[in-house]
Chains A and B, each alone.
Chain A
Amino acid sequence: MAEREYDASRYAPPAEVEEMELPHARGFISKYVWSQDAKVIAIQYGLTATAIGLVALVLSLLMRLQLGFPNSLSLLDPGSYLQFMTMHGMIMVVYLLTAIFLGGFGNYLIPLMCGARDMAFPYLNMLSYWVYLVSVLILVAGFFVADGSTGAGWTLYPPQAISPGTPGIDAGIVLMLVSLAVFIVGFTMGGLNYVVTVLQARTRGLTLMRLPLTIWGIFMATVMALLAFPALFVAVLMMLMDRLVGTSFFMPEMFAAEGGTEHQGGSPLLFQHLFWFFGHPEVYIVALPAFGIVSDLIATHARKNIFGYRMMVWAIIIIGALSFVVWAHHMYVSGMSPYFGFLFATTTLIIAVPTAIKVYNWVLTLWQGNIRFTVPMLFAIGFLFTFLNGGLSGLFLGNVTVDVPLSDTYFVVGHFHMVMAVAPILVIFGAIYHWYPKITGRLLDDTLGKIHFWVTFLGTYAIFYPMHFIGLEGVPRRYYAFGETTFISDSVQALNAGITVAAFIVAFAQLLFLFNLAWSLRHGRESGPNPWQATTLEWQTPHTPPRHGNFGEELPVVYRWPYDYSVPGVKADFIPQNVPPQAVEREPDAGRGGDA
């Protein structure tokens, strides 16, 4: 390939990379509290999400105690089981995963990987975090009000969400709905930033097709979230009106023990449509960033270019677009027309195609790679297994006839924990091990990391794999206890006890991880600027951790894609994105092979 003179201005017009005016922080408060620096905001998001995520983890342990040892411990009553289950699910999906991927990794990585000084609108970005924090506090307030948090299930289906008999219908449900609305407002502020920064603030030479897949994943997830969260927003407003003023958007006429209710004619199905119009894209809002990050982890730690980069980008885009037309696969048992169900089963199964392409490409990237079994790599491989597993059970559930008997059983619980709980969490861990050195300048401890990985990976399998079998027996989800039935065999109880033990072991391993995070901050091995010999821009900053403004005096210029690993004929086994072709050192005997 002939190398023409490189003219950076042909890639990005100067306007695109105009120097931005950064708000300068003076003093501790404006630097670390009311900070407008995306890196600080990222840490704030990350710590808040982790804190609330730990609450959700403790809730799941309490539920597991009840399920595993129903008669020996009475920590929960049936009502609080439902309350804990609801809070656990909602916190994990929205307040942990969405917040940490987009608010946490998005904020940290977008400006750095795009070669920008900061987000496009730093003030809005700061506001986004504080609004998120308020939403978390409102949510937590639910634990402390008189009747406790809502027990409606994370799907919040009316009528039961606001009807007598469900825990938390006085203040709990209101707090949940308000908190969600506030979260969405805060997210929108951040989301606009992520989108505009990717589109506008890329440095010279960084064309869209030279973006790391991490950025593609986060970008597309943000686009989806911006379009899908409004559905939840609208549903939440309408439910609040039903609950507080007595309208009948969703609430049908019902006859409670003490006579009728004030509502009339509302449609619970309408809520289900709105909820899942948000709810299904939400699955991919947490999956796409994970896809992106895992691609970069695999390429970096296998020292190979990602297989089929363009296919990977288009798969992300197609998955994002298609996930808006599959929502009704969550409503197969809502009495819809079979033709409708068939339509949605078809679209659902079509999504499996781009998803499978991604999995093949990951595997092909690993194929004959010079794999370094670092902790981030272990987590990435763990993700592949878990995601594949969850994806396969998804194929079962996507088919109407199979879903109908399995719906609302532990098969579903096992499926979605595999695919959208454990798989993304593994990526988050891998990403933290990968980028911690950039954030702190020190590596996390390797041995602790490996223990953390193996216990978490095998442990989560031990927790969620057996749930599929329990589900096949027909054991329903969202039950506090199962009592005497004809269809639940004794082995189910034994499995449940085992699952609970595994859950505690996994939870314990997370303490190791937290300890590692804190301990390595001071005592970790110094990492230097680029411990993994990675190509992307965040590893090429003049300071580690990067300072305010990220790149010192001059913004980097990009000459290549982020996957120049093991390029034939080149001395080093990686070429950073900002190394111009003239500066690449070649093997003396090799001809001018390759494109580098």
Chain B
Amino acid sequence: MTVSLILIVAMMAALVGWLLRQSIAERPWVAASGPQSAPLPAGFTAPRVGLLAFLAVVTSVFALTVSAYLMRMEMGADWRSMPVPGLLWANSTALVLASLALQLAWRAAARDQARRLRQLLAAGGGFTLAFLAGQLLAWQQLEAAGYYLVANPANAFFYLLTALHGAHLLGGLMAWTRVLARLHGNADAAWLCAGVELCALYWHFLLLVWALLFGLLLTT
């Protein structure tokens, strides 16, 4: 549980630290003339804070799964590490490209370059689909090589972790579809920019999660 604890403590500490800044100098019982608490920094819009909170939840999900992974490794004597298919390197590249495309799309949206935005957004989704297809292919390869889900806990965790990660990307793709639909429906620029930004940030986060998971799979 160490991994989860560290992450949850870090998240809690961030929240508590921020609350402390908001409240330490306050004298709540004083009406009107009370000292001002620091307002939220300007960039903190509701959708961004919403995304941040959601990322905290996702962090918790993956941290706990990884904790379970590490604990299960120690607990049973039956753990046999699984070779990581080389295909995952290609998949990882696709995910990096997806993240990059969305980052550039965000920039294009901010500069109101509609055509570029459309292309980059499409590219981001395309690379993501390629990543997901690649993951499915990797599953098939493993099955074919005899690394069944039930054969060993290492295998089971591999399938579980990749499936969880893929599911989160699929959820992201739903948001992406919505942005794409609005783009073709000529939504206003501010809405689009905010939407693309959320997608980009979410993708970067999932890329980071994938990097950590991939590292874990490679080293254990």
Instruction: List the B residue with the shortest CB-CB distance to A325.
Output: B5
Q: A247-B156, A267-B71 are in contact. Are A309 and B29 (CB under 8 A)?
A: yes
Shortest CB–CB separation between residue A178 and chain B, in angstroms?
A: 15
Shortest CB–CB separation between residue B68 and chain A, in angstroms?
A: 6
B15 at the interface (CB under 8 A from A): yes
A21–B208 CA distance with the chains assembled, in angstroms: 35
A309–B32 CA distance with the chains assembled, in angstroms: 17
| Binary interface encoding of chain A residues 554-567 relative to chain B, with 1 for a CB under 8 A from any of its CBs, else 0 | 00000111011000
A405 at the interface (CB under 8 A from B): no
Instruction: List the B residue with the shortest CB-CB distance to A564.
Output: B31
B172 at the interface (CB under 8 A from A): no
Within 8 A of A (CB), among B33-72: 33-34, 36-37, 39-40, 42, 44-46, 49-50, 53-54, 56-57, 60-61, 64-65, 68, 71-72
Shortest CB–CB separation between residue A296 and chain B, in angstroms?
A: 14
A310 at the interface (CB under 8 A from B): yes
| CB <8 Å contact, B64 and A196 | no
| CB <8 Å contact, B4 and A270 | no
Shortest CB–CB separation between residue A175 and chain B, in angstroms?
A: 21
B-chain residues with CB within 8 Å of residue A1 when the two chains form the complex: 30, 33
| CB <8 Å contact, B53 and A16 | no
A482 at the interface (CB under 8 A from B): no
Within 8 A of B (CB), among A14-49: 15-16
Q: A267-B76, A324-B5 are in contact. Are A207 and B31 (CB under 8 A)?
A: no
A248 at the interface (CB under 8 A from B): yes
Q: A227-B60, A233-B61 are in contact. Are A207 and B153 (CB under 8 A)?
A: no
| CB <8 Å contact, B149 and A208 | no
| CB <8 Å contact, A200 and B150 | no
Q: A247-B149, A247-B156 are in contact. Are A305 and B29 (CB under 8 A)?
A: yes
B-chain residues with CB within 8 Å of residue A121 when the two chains form the complex: 46, 50
A581–B33 CA distance with the chains assembled, in angstroms: 9
| CB <8 Å contact, B32 and A560 | yes
A512 at the interface (CB under 8 A from B): no
**Set B23, B44, B57: member contacting A310, Cβ < 8 A:** B23
Question: How many positions in chain B have a CB within 8 Å of any CB in the partner chain?
Answer: 51
Q: A208-B19, A230-B60, A277-B4 are in contact. Are A192 and B50 (CB under 8 A)?
A: yes
B137 at the interface (CB under 8 A from A): no
| Binary interface encoding of chain B residues 1-38 relative to chain A, with 1 for a CB under 8 A from any of its CBs, else 0 | 10011001101100110010011001011111110110
| CB <8 Å contact, A248 and B5 | no
Within 8 A of A (CB), among B52-111: 53-54, 56-57, 60-61, 64-65, 68, 71-72, 75-78
Within 8 A of B (CB), among A304-334: 305, 309-310, 313, 317, 320-321, 324-325
Shortest CB–CB separation between residue B188 and chain A, in angstroms?
A: 13
A35–B37 CA distance with the chains assembled, in angstroms: 35
Instruction: List the A residue with the shortest CB-CB distance to B34.
Output: A207
| CB <8 Å contact, A200 and B33 | no
A-chain residues with CB within 8 Å of residue B46 when the two chains form the complex: 120-121, 196, 200-201
B-chain residues with CB within 8 Å of residue A585 when the two chains form the complex: none
| CB <8 Å contact, B76 and A595 | no
B-chain residues with CB within 8 Å of residue A305 when the two chains form the complex: 29
| CB <8 Å contact, A264 and B60 | no
B-chain residues with CB within 8 Å of residue A596 when the two chains form the complex: 31
| CB <8 Å contact, B160 and A267 | no
A234 at the interface (CB under 8 A from B): yes
B-chain residues with CB within 8 Å of residue A3 when the two chains form the complex: 31-33
Q: Which of A237-245, A285-293, A428-436 contacts B (4 or more CB under 8 A)?
A: A237-245
A596–B78 CA distance with the chains assembled, in angstroms: 69
| CB <8 Å contact, A10 and B36 | yes
A309–B72 CA distance with the chains assembled, in angstroms: 45
**Set B26, B65, B72, B150: member contacting A246, Cβ < 8 A:** B150
| Binary interface encoding of chain A residues 205-243 relative to chain B, with 1 for a CB under 8 A from any of its CBs, else 0 | 001111000000000000100111011011001100100
Q: A6-B32, A234-B68 are in contact. Are A208 and B77 (CB under 8 A)?
A: no
B-chain residues with CB within 8 Å of residue A196 when the two chains form the complex: 46, 49-50, 53
A460 at the interface (CB under 8 A from B): no
A543–B39 CA distance with the chains assembled, in angstroms: 30
B42, B61, B77 interface centre (most CB from chain A within 10 Å): B61
**Set B49, B72, B164: member contacting A267, Cβ < 8 A:** B72
Shortest CB–CB separation between residue A570 and chain B, in angstroms?
A: 11
| CB <8 Å contact, B56 and A226 | yes
A516 at the interface (CB under 8 A from B): no
A-chain residues with CB within 8 Å of residue B49 when the two chains form the complex: 195-196, 199-200
A226–B56 CA distance with the chains assembled, in angstroms: 8
A313–B29 CA distance with the chains assembled, in angstroms: 14
**Set A223, A241, A273: member contacting B15, Cβ < 8 A:** A223
A-chain residues with CB within 8 Å of residue B164 when the two chains form the complex: 237
Q: A196-B50, A267-B72 are in contact. Are A16 and B40 (CB under 8 A)?
A: yes
B-chain residues with CB within 8 Å of residue A165 when the two chains form the complex: none
| CB <8 Å contact, A230 and B71 | no
Shortest CB–CB separation between residue A206 and chain B, in angstroms?
A: 10
Q: A208-B19, A313-B23 are in contact. Are A195 and B53 (CB under 8 A)?
A: yes
A266–B150 CA distance with the chains assembled, in angstroms: 12
A-chain residues with CB within 8 Å of residue B71 when the two chains form the complex: 267, 270, 273
A-chain residues with CB within 8 Å of residue B15 when the two chains form the complex: 223
| CB <8 Å contact, B64 and A192 | no
| CB <8 Å contact, A209 and B160 | no
Shortest CB–CB separation between residue B73 and chain A, in angstroms?
A: 10
Shortest CB–CB separation between residue A458 and chain B, in angstroms?
A: 37
| Binary interface encoding of chain A residues 160-204 relative to chain B, with 1 for a CB under 8 A from any of its CBs, else 0 | 000000000000000000000000000010011001100111000
**Set B8, B32, B77: member contacting A265, Cβ < 8 A:** B77
B-chain residues with CB within 8 Å of residue A266 when the two chains form the complex: 72, 76, 153
A313–B27 CA distance with the chains assembled, in angstroms: 13
| CB <8 Å contact, B160 and A595 | no
**Set A2, A273, A277: member contacting B33, Cβ < 8 A:** A2
Instruction: List the A residue with the shortest CB-CB distance to B150.
Output: A246
| CB <8 Å contact, A207 and B37 | yes
A228, A265, A559 interface centre (most CB from chain B within 10 Å): A265
A-chain residues with CB within 8 Å of residue B36 when the two chains form the complex: 10-11, 207
Q: A13-B39, A15-B42, A199-B49 are in contact. Are A559 and B32 (CB under 8 A)?
A: yes
A264–B39 CA distance with the chains assembled, in angstroms: 55
A214–B141 CA distance with the chains assembled, in angstroms: 54
Q: A10-B36, A207-B26, A227-B11 are in contact. Are A267 and B60 (CB under 8 A)?
A: no
A-chain residues with CB within 8 Å of residue B12 when the two chains form the complex: 227, 320-321, 324
A3–B30 CA distance with the chains assembled, in angstroms: 10
A-chain residues with CB within 8 Å of residue B77 when the two chains form the complex: 265
The 10 closest A-B pairs by CB, nearest first: A265-B76, A265-B78, A560-B31, A267-B75, A209-B26, A230-B60, A247-B156, A230-B61, A209-B28, A561-B28
| 9 residue pairs from A and B, CB less than 8 Å apart | A16-B39, A188-B57, A192-B53, A207-B22, A230-B57, A247-B156, A270-B75, A595-B29, A595-B31
Kindly list 10 other residue pairs between chains A and B, CB separation below 8 angstroms, not including A191-B53, A320-B12, A595-B30.
A207-B26, A208-B19, A226-B60, A231-B60, A248-B78, A248-B150, A264-B78, A265-B153, A267-B75, A561-B31
Residues in B lying within 8 Å of A, measured CB to CB: 1, 4-5, 8-9, 11-12, 15-16, 19, 22-23, 26, 28-34, 36-37, 39-40, 42, 44-46, 49-50, 53-54, 56-57, 60-61, 64-65, 68, 71-72, 75-78, 149-150, 153, 156, 160, 164
